[in-house]
Amino acid sequence: MRWLVAALVCLPIVASAQEGFQLPSGNIFCEMEEGAIRCDIVNYSYTPPPKPQDCEFDWGHSVAVGPVGAARLLCGGDTVVNRGARRLRYGTAWQGPGLTCTATQAMLRCANAAGQGFEFARTRLQLF
């Protein structure tokens, strides 16, 4: 098993970029798409930013970040929800090319090497 040092805490890396994953809650699902990690949330209570006028599809439930650049909300009529995806246990991390996601009971945090990314939870969406 590989280990990731983050904030002076060792987290086991239990998934790789070849796989999508879901959190144990069954509410957040992620998958690699076009070099970025995309995560969708099924149920949420946060208020997303205003929907862009050119977005004809669903808004506020899907976010992505790539190995370079800022995280972004996605406008989409599709989903990466896969109930058969591997579960990323709380207290563990997923690592992909230039990306790391860590799962806690409070949230999922995904970021690239430049520190750009997002935090995702039923009650919170934060892009940074």
Q: How far apart are CA 32 and CA 36, in angstroms?
A: 6
Q: Is residue 8 in some structural domain?
A: no
Q: Is residue 36 in some structural domain?
A: yes
What amino acid is encoded at 85 in this protein? Answer: A
pLDDT for 19: 75
Q: Is residue 6 in some structural domain?
A: no
pLDDT for 23: 98
Number of domains in the chain: 1
Strand ordering across the sheet containing 58-65 = 72-76, 58-65, 36-41, 28-33, 21-22, 86-87
**Residue 16 pLDDT > 80:** no
Q: Is residue 46 in some structural domain?
A: yes
Q: Is residue 3 in some structural domain?
A: no
pLDDT for 5: 38
Q: Is residue 78 in some structural domain?
A: yes
pLDDT for 73: 98
CA separation (Å) from 45 to 12, 41, 42, 121?
Answer: 30, 11, 10, 9
Domain that holds residue 49: 14-127
Q: Is residue 5 in some structural domain?
A: no
Q: Is residue 4 in some structural domain?
A: no
Tell me the pLDDT tens digit for each residue of 83-128: 999 999 999 999 999 999 999 999 999 999 999 999 999 999 999 9
Tell me the pLDDT tens digit for each residue of 24-68: 999 999 999 999 999 999 999 999 999 999 999 999 999 999 999
**Residue 72 pLDDT > 90:** yes
